[in-house]
């Protein structure tokens, strides 16, 4: 990793060192931050799983988003890709672009990093801090037993389509965060929805449990229908959806009503839950819902209305 040697950048490094020096590296880390690269051990008979996710100000969060939440969400969204592969995290790198030094911003940001490191058991093993518009890019690494790993392909006719937990909460949370939705009459619901957006909980344990049973898996970041569409496309199959079985939280219905809640659940995005397919003989994991079944005919059937895209546009 690039080292910075001028007086002003020493201050930057001192700050980062101060905020991140307390973090544990974990048993896989043979050499952590502080050299040209980190060295990690991979358990015998395991493969490396790797994914990258970025978040940019004005696109993925606003200037009003707490730096702690910016950090936590950036890491959680990347970790969610590991969960969708059934992988166990071993480490991550973080590229942070900052337009100016702001110790308070950095402190809050580092608290989000720390929270995520411990929540997901994923040490920060490398970083690069550069000058530029605010942007965070996280590469996560994990492991799966050799020959394993949940893919988007593999869903077969008759499989059950399942999702973990309720959908749409995070999309509503984002609208609350951006101030485009108000929920004064429902303060506790509002807190719940904001929390679901701010602190997504990647389903690592579930992904790991599914390694031996699921035929296909994807994480829901762009909305249930869009991500199910990717899974169907790569598996070469279609889906019959039972709209009434889509899990929606009471909090979401309280704040936006049932019709809008369904729209958000179908296509709001930002959920970081898993969508997976199971042979019908397999027991559905606790907390998960069966929302449909795989059919031979391509496409998605069973929806009463064509859903409106409500997630953000990238370009």
Residues 13-52 that bind its own copies (CB under 8 A): 30-31, 34-42, 44, 47-52
Smallest distance from its own copies to CB 93, Å = 4
CA distance 202 to 221: 11
Nearer to its own copies, 189 or 264 (CB): 264
Q: Which stretch binds its own copies (CB under 8 A): 58-66, 161-169, 183-191, 244-252?
A: 58-66
**Least Cβ distance, residue 181 to its own copies (angstroms):** 21
Q: How far is the CB of 56 from its own copies (least distance, A)?
A: 3
Q: Using CB under 8 A, which residues numbered 123 to 142 contact its own copies?
A: 125-133, 135, 137, 139-142
User: What is the pairing mode between strands 299-301 and 238-241?
Assistant: parallel
Q: DSSP label at 121? A: T
Please report, as residue ranges, which positions from 67 to 96 form the binding site for its own copies (by CB under 8 A).
77, 81-82, 84-85, 87, 91, 93-95
Q: How far is the CB of 251 from its own copies (least distance, A)?
A: 26
Q: Per-residue string for binding with its own copies, 227-266, x by CB under 8 A?
A: x-xx---x--------------------------------
**Distance in angstroms (rounded) separating the CA atoms of residues 179 and 117:** 29
Please give the structure tokens belonging to residue 81: 């890709």
Contact yes or no for 98/4 (Cβ under 8 A): no
The residues facing 135 across adjacent strands are 56, 97
Q: Binding pattern to its own copies, positions 141-180, x when CB under 8 A?
A: xx-x-x--xxxxx---------------------------
User: Which H or E element spans position 54?
Assistant: strand 46-56
Nearer to its own copies, 24 or 102 (CB): 102
Q: Does residue number 271 form part of the binding site for its own copies (CB under 8 A)?
A: no
**Minimum CB distance to its own copies smaller for 169 or for 227:** 227
Q: How far apart are CA 253 and CA 240, in angstroms?
A: 24
| Selection from 102, 101, 77 nearest residue 8 by Cα | 101
Based on the shown chain and the rule CB under 8 A, indicate whether residue 314 belongs to the binding site for its own copies: yes
CA 167 to chain CA centroid, nearest Å: 13
Q: Yes or no: say if 67 and 108 are a contact pair by the CB < 8 Å rule.
A: yes
Nearest to 273 by CA among 193, 214, 196, 215: 196
């Amino acid at each position: 990793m690039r080292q910075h040697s001028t007086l002003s950048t020493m201050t930057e490094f001192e700050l980062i060192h101060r905020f991140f020096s307390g973090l544990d590296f974990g048993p896989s880390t043979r050499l952590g931050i502080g050299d040209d690269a980190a060295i990690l051990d991979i358990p015998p008979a395991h493969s490396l799983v790797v994914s990258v996710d970025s978040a940019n100000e004005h696109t993925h969060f606003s200037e009003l988003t707490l730096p702690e939440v910016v950090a936590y969400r950036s890491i959680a969204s990347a970790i969610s890709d590991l969960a969708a592969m059934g992988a166990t995290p071993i480490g991550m790198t973080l590229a942070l672009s900052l337009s100016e030094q702001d110790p308070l911003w950095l402190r809050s940001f580092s608290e989000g990093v720390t929270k995520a490191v411990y929540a997901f058991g994923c040490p920060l093993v490398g970083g690069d801090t550069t000058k530029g518009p605010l942007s965070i890019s996280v590469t996560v690494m994990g492991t799966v037993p050799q020959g394993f790993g949940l893919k988007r392909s593999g869903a077969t006719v008759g499989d059950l389509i399942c999702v973990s937990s309720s959908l749409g909460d995070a999309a509503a949370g984002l609208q609350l965060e951006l101030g485009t939705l108000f929920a004064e009459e429902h303060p506790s619901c509002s807190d719940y929805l904001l929390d679901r957006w701010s602190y997504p909980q990647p389903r690592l344990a579930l992904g790991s449990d599914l390694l031996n049973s699921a035929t296909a898996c994807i994480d829901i970041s762009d909305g249930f229908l869009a991500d199910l569409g990717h899974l169907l496309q790569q598996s070469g199959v279609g889906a019959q959806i039972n709209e009434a079985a889509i899990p929606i939280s009471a909090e979401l219905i309280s704040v936006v009503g049932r019709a809008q809640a369904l729209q958000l659940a179908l296509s709001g995005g930002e959920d970081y839950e898993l969508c997976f397919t199971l042979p019908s003989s397999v027991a559905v994991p606790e907390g998960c819902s069966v929302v449909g079944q795989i059919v031979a005919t391509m496409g998605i059937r069973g929806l009463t209305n064509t859903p409106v895209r409500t997630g953000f546009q990238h370009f």
